[in-house]
Chains A and B, each alone.
Chain A
Amino acid sequence: MAKVACLAWCALALGGALAQEPQHADYVWRLPRGFPTPAVPADNPMSEAKVALGRRLFFERRLSVTGRSSCASCHDPARSFSDGRAVAVGATGAALPHSAMALVNVAYNISFGWTRLDVRSLEAQMLEPLLNDHPVELGLAGRQQSVCAQLAADPTYSENFAAAFPHAGVAVTFEHLVKAIAAFERTLISGRSAFDRYVFDGDHAALPEAAKRGMAVFFSREAGCAGCHSGFNFAGNWRDAQGETGKPSFASNGTSERAIRVPTLRNVALTAPYMHDGRFPTLEAVLDYYSSLGEHAQSRRGSRYDPRLPRAALSARQRTDLVAFLRSLTDEAFVSRFAGAGSP
């Protein structure tokens, strides 16, 4: 109950404080070809200064109860901002119910989290890892003011906050901290993979033949992969500056009693283990599972399984080709962009 009240207070505080913030219409997105302009909340406009502050805060270990964890502890840039664990582990060592979602292209999400439909902004989502106490993630509930005081006492942070929130009376606040990190996360845009060079740049040699065959399988109705992993982000419906393309994309694939979010497949080769609970260690294991679903497609009819799942088993060759295609979605430049940004 206390947690609910705290979250509600924070949400109200965020909503109220941001109404006075001026728009920064001059922010220039550096988007890959074929990517739409992300939606940005009217009360948290983008600015270079805010993104730079958010980037620093993202790697800041003082944002945890132990002083040893940061956002990057569960969202490691080298793993496309996931953590390589089956389920995430909080600052105090508590296991979380799900794996850490990769934050790549998170700016385009309609809702956030593996199972929640009601969390509709990065700012709102961030309150969970920062403040949750059952289980503890970063464990800042009740410590917001002391954390802000620590940051305000740091001359560089004080300067960074002032630059990011130039019109605020008090720049170093918890709301501003959340907004800056959200602004930084909106810039985690990845779309310069071999697949993108092939499709959008017209470099027809960018994909090996196996990946091209895998691409044909991926987009076929038989395999059904693109039924859920559609859109430029391979994550189903999205939100951009034009609006939302539909409802948040969830699917029932038999790994949970409830529908689970369709995650992006961009940089998927970097985000093992797979599924919301990390049950599959490799892409091959994931495809084996989907192939088995295809093999039993007839018996699935009318069940709780998503009708978009494979309609037939995948051959060994198809699975190999699909893995080659999925590996072609890795954007090396995106990963190297954050090399040395701060160890998680």
Chain B
Amino acid sequence: MHIRVEVLSACMLLSAVPAAWANGGGAMEMPQANSREESPQDKAKERYNDGVREVRKADRFQDSAAQLVDPAKKERALHEARTRYSSSLAKFQEAVQLDANMHEAWNYVGYTSRKLGNYEAALAAYERALALKPGYPEALEYRGEAFLALNRIPDAQQAYLDLFATNRGLADKLLAAIKSWVATQRAAASGADPATVEELDKWVQERAQIASQTAALTREGSAAGWH
């Protein structure tokens, strides 16, 4: 009962937390009931949609955990998030077993694996998603974050550049993650090589400046929106 109250309060807190949910894609439209026999692709979509619902709940718990100060409450929220990431991973894995060509589900297999700390599995899933849909921006961004978690900095930088050319919004998101990585490494007693961290910080600053200056090069920033 006590745990349930804590979980509920974490959920209530979440309503005030800025959304930082998965950007892998929303639910898919399902065919009308009884219109025909359900195909493996339809079943895959169902599992995928179940997974999306679950992963959003997981994201909410993770975000609320970040806001909580009480260590016990924070741990409970994180536990709830992990539980839901696990169950959503299972749904996405079912989806790709039913339809191996569903790049969205592979992307979420990567996302949930990464959230559970299985970075190599996450990278493998992103590769599958990108093989099915080359240049898939959401997978590029997630993969960039996985590279960061594995301290593969040049790969994360390349992911940023790939996104910068195609999707400024997700590029900004990855740049924020890289910036956060720099801050974490600086704060850690035994973080990455300080020279590497400082060099990356300089790179982040220059990229942020380039991104700001060249907003006018994008579709949204072209002459139509200048005044």
Complex CA distance for A245 and B223, rounded to whole angstroms: 8
Contact B214 A249 (CB under 8 A): no
The residues of A that contact B224 with a CB separation of less than 8 Å are 237, 245-247
Report how many residues on chain B are interfacial, defined by Cβ distance under 8 Å. 23
Instruction: Please tell me the size bucket of the interface on A.
Output: 20 to 34
Contact of B223 among A200, A227, A232 (CB under 8 A): A227
Contact of B213 among A34, A215, A231, A232 (CB under 8 A): A215
- Say yes or no for A278: interface residue by CB 8 A criterion: no
Complex CA distance for A82 and B85, rounded to whole angstroms: 59
Contact B165 A238 (CB under 8 A): no
Contact B217 A216 (CB under 8 A): no
Q: Mark A19-52, 1 if CB is under 8 A from B, else 0.
A: 0000000000000011010000000000000000
Contact B165 A200 (CB under 8 A): yes
The residues of A that contact B166 with a CB separation of less than 8 Å are 34
Contact A199 B223 (CB under 8 A): no
Q: A200-B164, A204-B203 are in contact. Are A245 and B210 (CB under 8 A)?
A: no
Contact B223 A202 (CB under 8 A): no
The residues of A that contact B164 with a CB separation of less than 8 Å are 34, 199-200
- Say yes or no for A308: interface residue by CB 8 A criterion: yes
The residues of B that contact A230 with a CB separation of less than 8 Å are 216-217, 221-223, 226
A226 closest partner in B (C-beta): B216
The residues of A that contact B214 with a CB separation of less than 8 Å are 199, 219
Q: A230-B221, A245-B222 are in contact. Are A200 and B216 (CB under 8 A)?
A: no
| Majority SS at the chain A contact face | loop
Q: A199, A216, A238 — which one has the most chain B CB atoms within 10 A of its CB?
A: A199
The residues of B that contact A200 with a CB separation of less than 8 Å are 161, 164-165
**In the complex, number of A-B residue pairs with CB atoms less than 8 Å apart:** 69
The residues of A that contact B227 with a CB separation of less than 8 Å are 307-308
Q: A226-B216, A231-B222 are in contact. Are A33 and B165 (CB under 8 A)?
A: yes
Contact A199 B210 (CB under 8 A): yes
- Say yes or no for B157: interface residue by CB 8 A criterion: yes
- Say yes or no for B219: interface residue by CB 8 A criterion: yes
- Say yes or no for B38: interface residue by CB 8 A criterion: no
Q: Mark A109-129, 1 if CB is under 8 A from B, else 0.
A: 000000000000000000000
- Say yes or no for A280: interface residue by CB 8 A criterion: no
B221 closest partner in A (C-beta): A230
A220 closest partner in B (C-beta): B213
Contact B219 A198 (CB under 8 A): no
The residues of B that contact A246 with a CB separation of less than 8 Å are 222-224
Q: Mark A210-222, 1 if CB is under 8 A from B, else 0.
A: 0000011001000
- Say yes or no for A136: interface residue by CB 8 A criterion: no
Q: Tell me the smallest distance from the CB of A82 to a CB of chain B, in Å.
A: 22
Complex CA distance for A202 and B224, rounded to whole angstroms: 28
Complex CA distance for A226 and B217, rounded to whole angstroms: 9
Given contacts A219-B216, A245-B222, 6 further A-B contacts (CB under 8 A): A33-B165, A199-B217, A202-B161, A216-B213, A228-B223, A231-B219
What are 10 A-B pairs at a CB distance below 8 A?
A36-B219, A198-B210, A199-B164, A202-B157, A231-B217, A232-B218, A237-B223, A238-B222, A245-B222, A308-B226
- Chain B interface (Cβ < 8 Å from any Cβ of A): 157-158, 160-161, 164-166, 203, 206-207, 210, 213-214, 216-219, 221-224, 226-227
